[in-house]
């Protein structure tokens, strides 16, 4: 499926802009300022900030930042309960980047979820096709995958202290989830994040989903495991 966003519903957030409440909307993989028909014309005078358009600019800069995935919530049991205005950031570009990412992730509505999905899709594609920044980004991508797999398995199996050993594999390699004496050994590609976790399919019909494919974003073929981790079963489901 070339349109990675197919099947992901639009999301909106309210922004106080110029004394009015405006709307920014994520739809079909892009963020738009609904109340600004001419963004260039609405940019304002020199030194003047237009909140809607500033949000779009920051989104454009940060959506490719893998740090977004390590800062963001890892699911319902890991809410990002922060007041960014109360945080104190140091100086330097790294701190500025972190502040911008946190402000986006603290935005209302479902925009933080859509930002995560966008970032994950970008890096999944780069892992498949190659990119100059992969070596620097890989530790953060592995950490993002590890954290979400760990929370998913702990919740699904009802083992809050479960330990896992995760290997981030290529999309074409065999996906494995195996019990060991120490916990669970997992082999999954980064694609699991945008294809499965970001779409709410990690646990499907009480089973762990290790792979999901679709042609239209609504009808899915998923490969799943039961709690005994013994046998992969393929299911066909409709999410609409």
pLDDT class for 71, splitting at 50, 70, 90?
confident
Residue-level pLDDT at 86: 53
pLDDT tens digits, 110-125 = 888 999 999 999 999 9
Which whole number is the average pLDDT over 150-166?
A: 96
Q: Strands, E, within 36-134: which ranges?
A: none
- Weakest mean pLDDT among 46-55, 156-165, 172-181: 46-55
| Model confidence, pTM | 0.87
Domain coordinates in residue numbering, the chain: 11-238
Mean pLDDT score, 149-168: 97
Least confident piece of the model among 53-67, 150-164, 193-207: 53-67
């Amino acid at each position: 499926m070339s349109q990675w966003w197919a099947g992901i519903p639009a999301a909106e957030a309210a922004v106080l802009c110029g004394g009015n409440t405006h709307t920014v909307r994520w739809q079909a993989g892009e963020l738009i300022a609904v109340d600004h028909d001419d963004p260039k014309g609405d940019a304002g005078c020199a030194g003047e900030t237009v909140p809607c358009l500033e949000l779009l600019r920051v989104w454009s800069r940060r959506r490719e930042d893998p740090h977004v995935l390590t800062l963001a919530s890892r699911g319902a049991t890991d809410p990002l309960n922060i007041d960014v205005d109360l945080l104190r950031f140091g100086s330097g570009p790294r701190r500025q980047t972190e502040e911008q990412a946190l402000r986006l992730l603290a935005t209302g509505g479902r925009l933080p979820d859509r930002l995560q999905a966008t970032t994950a899709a970008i890096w999944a594609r780069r892992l498949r096709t190659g990119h100059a920044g992969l070596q620097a980004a890989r530790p953060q991508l592995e950490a993002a995958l590890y954290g979400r797999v760990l929370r998913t398995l702990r919740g699904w199996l009802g083992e809050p202290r479960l330990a896992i050993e995760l290997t981030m594999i290529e999309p074409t390699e065999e996906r494995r989830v195996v019990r060991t004496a120490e916990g669970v050994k997992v082999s999954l590609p980064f694609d699991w994040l945008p294809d499965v976790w970001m779409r709410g399919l990690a646990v499907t019909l009480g089973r762990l989903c290790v792979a999901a494919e679709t042609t239209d974003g609504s009808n899915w073929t998923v490969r799943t495991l039961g709690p005994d981790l013994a046998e992969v079963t393929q299911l066909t489901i409709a999410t609409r």
